[in-house]
Amino acid sequence: MSDIILLGPPGAGKGTQARRLVEERGLVQLSTGDMLREARSSGTEMGRRVAEVMDRGNLVTDDIVIGLIEERLAASKAAGFIFDGFPRTLAQADALGALLKRAGRHLDAVIEMRVDDEALVRRITGRFTCGNCGEVYHDLTRPTARPGICDACGSTDLRRRADDNEESLRTRLLEYYKNTAPLIGYYYALGKLRPVDGLDGVDAVAAAIAAILDAPPAAGKGPLDATAETH
Ligand code: AP5
């Protein structure tokens, strides 16, 4: 069973591409951001603490997010998972490697979505989503066909995220460069890293990802072949 990771800064387009991969390839999306947003609306003490951390733009602790992924992996026998927004730290990456190995699964590719910071600010500050079906829109680049109505499901419950403002985004970017960007080197060393130009349009990015997923497995496994076998 083969899985992929979508790796990139906030607003790189991970959620947008994950939804397409679910529709087009029947993969199962595991978004820790979505799971944490569910947890925050649970009304529990844990949910309240998670909400505070997310709204500031900081990372939720490793034990919480690893626990969420562990539960989902144990509950599903999907042919392929898309990890969207996970892992985000080296500890999470190590934990994922161990979980996949224990489940007899195989990490196919880590798609690194490259987008510059200016584009990220434009994307994040213009984003809104459907509260009913999760479809992702943008004020300028992907507005709904009829104002205030979701194209996909007809709902009028269109929302903006509490952390989609310039101040939280600054913190989210700092967290990304400090904790998540080191994963680029980590997965490169394992021979899994596949960069795509995330500045391209949504269709072009989807085509680049499809080409990676449809390519025959590379002959060499990467600079650290022996280690790659364990992930
Ligand atoms: P999360 O929900 O994962 O947010 P994120 O990583 O900041 O990513 P986003 O959802 O903001 O962006 P995206 O890359 O999915 O972009 P999208 O497709 O929507 O995490 C939120 C918070 O939860 C974190 O800050 C943290 O607190 C916590 N958290 C989550 N996971 C965690 C973990 N593992 N460990 C610890 N804490 C964790 O696109 C953005 C906009 O751009 C949209 O409007 C879209 O229409 C537009 N767009 C997309 N693609 C294109 C394109 N190619 N061209 C033009 N516009 C585009």
Amino acid identity at 142: R
Neighbours of 26 (CB within 10 A): 10
Q: What is the pTM of this model?
A: 0.93
The pLDDT assigned to 230 comes to: 45
- For 138-175, how does the pLDDT look when each residue is reduced to its tens digit (9 = 90+)? 999 999 999 999 999 999 999 999 999 989 999 999 99
Per-residue confidence (pLDDT) for residue 46, from 0 to 100: 87
> Would you tell me the crossing angle of helices 32-40 and 45-56 to the nearest 10 degrees?
130
Active site residues: 14, 88, 127, 161, 172
The sheet that has 106-114: what strands, in order across it?
Answer: 28-31, 81-84, 2-7, 106-114, 193-197
Instruction: For the beta carbon of residue 38, count every other beta carbon within 10 angstroms.
Output: 12
pLDDT less than 70: residues of the chain: 1, 218-231
Q: Is the CB of 96 under 6 A from ligand 1?
A: no
From atom 21 of ligand 1, which residue's Cα is the shortest distance away? 33
User: Which stretches of 43-152 are DSSP H helices?
Assistant: 45-56, 62-75, 90-102, 117-125
Residue 50: CB atoms within 10 Å: 23
- Spatial distance between the Cα atoms of 213 and 165, rounded to a whole number of angstroms: 34
Buried b or exposed e, range 143-166, using 16+ CB within 10 angstroms? ebeeeeebeeeeeeebeeeebbee
pLDDT of res. 77: 83
Query: Is the CB of residue 85 below 6 angstroms from any atom belonging to ligand 1?
Result: yes
Query: By C-alpha distance, which of 230, 215, 228 is closest to 189?
Result: 228
- pLDDT given at position 51: 94
| Nearest CA owner, ligand 1 atom 6 | 10
